[in-house]
Structure 1
Amino acid sequence: MDEVSVVVAHPERATLRVGDVFLKVDTDRARLEREVEAMTLAPVPTPDILWHEPPVLAIAAVRGTVLARLCRPSTSPPAAWASAGAALRRLHDAPLPPWIGRNGGNLDELAAELDAECERLVADDVLPRDLVTRNREVAQAALRPWTPAFTHGDLHIAHVFADGDELTGIIDWSEAGQGDPLRDVATMTLGHPEHLDDVLAGYGGEADPAIIRAWWSLRTLLSVRWLIEHNYDPFSPGGEVDVLRARM
């Protein structure tokens, strides 16, 4: 008999696994419906939708294994990273979904959120002032106008699956919408800068590495306190705080 395992759980959302079926429970019905639509529209491999009855979405497991994990060396070949980059290009070139992702274009709101978070990180003694200040300077480069694209919105590396050189699936589309395409590239390569060139080789076109590094700082500054509050450890070797330290 298959056991029920909790993949992730917090007050807004939870994901359970039963055998090869994942059950996503979301308190926000509109967000769950957007996730279903995003997977339907995305021109890249996504999980098969088994059924959808709010507040639950049932999806099938995708073939393969995660491309990499934060805090661990990647065992995936460079070709798999390039394949992921090519898939991102297809997604970003696709017709826009009819909704805007989180902070999908409001630079003033994003800058204000970032500044407030930096102040709290220092005031609460979570991170040293010089580390926060330096990364806030680096992050500024990401706060520029961009051409909206169809973005995943939360493309951390554990959401990308491959089998050998082949990309087999991208999961968790709950934050998908119109947004900055380089944010997706940055999120997928966070903690694995050694594979950025492989991803960009598959991605093609114009993709400024300086903007991607800026997003590494920006995303990480915004996530450190959330991770701590939800019992994750951003201070683990190779984790989020080491990403910030690399910018020093």
Structure 2
Amino acid sequence: MDKVEVVVAHHERATLRVGDVFLKIDADQARTDAEVEAMELAPIPTSEVLWRKPPVLALAALPGTALGRLGEPSTASAAAWAAAGAAARMLHDAPLPPRPGRSADELAAHLDDECEWLLTHDVLPADLVTRNRGIAEAALRPWTPVFTHGDLQVAHVFVDGDEVTGVLDWSEAARGDAMADLATLTLGHEEHLADVAAGYGTDVDLDLIRAWWSLRSLLGVRWLIEHGFDPATPGCEVDVLRSQL
């Protein structure tokens, strides 16, 4: 090895890559505990835990490459996207994990706070916030909880050819809404929604996925700004909100 690569770094955690080892440094050990537990329970491939010495968790690199990146066109095949959908279905069909997720009421309260902040600080045009909030509210209904990854973004799904080799970053895994995972997976990659739905099989509600696109984007803008990221990067959260109109 000849370098240390900073994969991601913000106020809550950082991930470094040294050769074929990823070092996750997290100030919240309860979050790391939940991540390791979820990886042990998940019925789909995950990274091997090499060692753990708080606050550091060492994970083996997964083979293959990320399915894609938010804000960039994906070079993965339609079959690879379908395989990601099939992996999500396998996860959602597994026994529920012990960790409870956020309820629709908790998400609604969070949405209220974030929309107020966006408008008060003039971060986004009022009509963009208001109209996306109306779309997002469709997701805030009772759902049958499943084993969700919680942050199933394309950068966390690794593929080799047309096969999923593993899924990263289980720190948000909990009981939740299946459509939330599918929405996160396809956020900013609407052109692959049909592929994911085909791989997932039945029970895919496209309207709810679109509602979750608005919800996730509205909830994420402030966090991204406060942690040094730009949600207005082409193809990212602000563009997703605009595309919803």
> For this structure pair, what is the TM-score category when the shorter chain's length is used for normalisation?
over 0.9
Matched, 1:192 2:198: no
Q: Which runs of 4+ in 1 moved over 6 A?
A: none
Structure 2 counterpart of 1:76: 76
Structure 1 unaligned regions, length at least 5: none
Q: Give the length in aligned residue pairs.
A: 245
- Counterpart of 1:237 in structure 2 is 234
Of 198, 201, 215, the residue aligned with 2:198 is 201
- Superposed CA RMSD in Å reads 1.0
**For 1:201, what is the secondary structure of its paired residue?**
helix
Between stretches 131-140 and 221-230, larger displacement belongs to 221-230
Instruction: Give ranges in structure 2 of 5+ residues lacking alignment.
Output: none
After superposition, give the CA deviation of every residue in 1:93-137 in whole Å (9 maximum; x if it has no partner).
001111113x1xx22221111011111101101000000000000
In 2, distance between residues paired with 1:202 and 1:156?
A: 16
Aligned residue identity for 2:32: L
Choose 225-234 or 153-162, whichever is displaced more: 225-234
Could you say which residue in structure 1 is the equivalent of 2:23? Answer: 23
2:12 aligned with 1:12, yes or no? yes
Q: Alignment partner of 1:144: what SS?
A: coil
Instruction: Name the amino acid aligned to 2:161.
Output: G
Which is further off, 72-81 or 25-34?
Answer: 25-34
- Say which SS state the counterpart of residue 81 (structure 1) adopts: helix
The equivalent position to 1:131 in structure 2, one of 119, 125, 128, is: 128
| TM-score (ref. length: structure 1) | 0.96
2: CA distance, partners of 1:83 / 1:202: 6
Three-state SS of the structure 1 residue aligned to 2:32 is helix
Secondary structure of the structure 2 residue equivalent to 1:108? helix
What TM-score results when the alignment is normalised by the length of structure 2?
A: 0.97
For the residue of structure 1 that corresponds to 2:8, the secondary structure is: strand
Of 162, 165, 178 in structure 2, the residue corresponding to residue 181 of structure 1 is 178
Q: What residue is the counterpart of 2:45 in the other structure?
A: 45
Tell me how far apart the structure 2 counterparts of residues 30 and 62 of structure 1 sit (CA, whole Å).
Answer: 24
**Which residue is equivalent to 1:85?**
85
Q: Secondary structure at the match of 1:168?
A: strand
1:66 Cα shift? 0.7
Using the TM superposition, give the Cα deviation of residue 148 of structure 1 relative to its aligned residue in structure 2, in angstroms.
0.7
137, 140, 151: which one aligns with 1:154: 151
Matched position secondary structure for 2:134: helix
Relative to structure 2, which stretch is displaced further, 28-37 or 181-190?
A: 28-37
Secondary structure at the residue paired with 1:25?
Answer: strand
Amino acid at match of 1:18: V
Give the distance between the partners of 1:91 and 1:98, measured in 2 at CA.
Answer: 14
Question: What secondary structure, in the 3-state scheme, does the structure 1 residue paired with 2:214 have?
Answer: helix
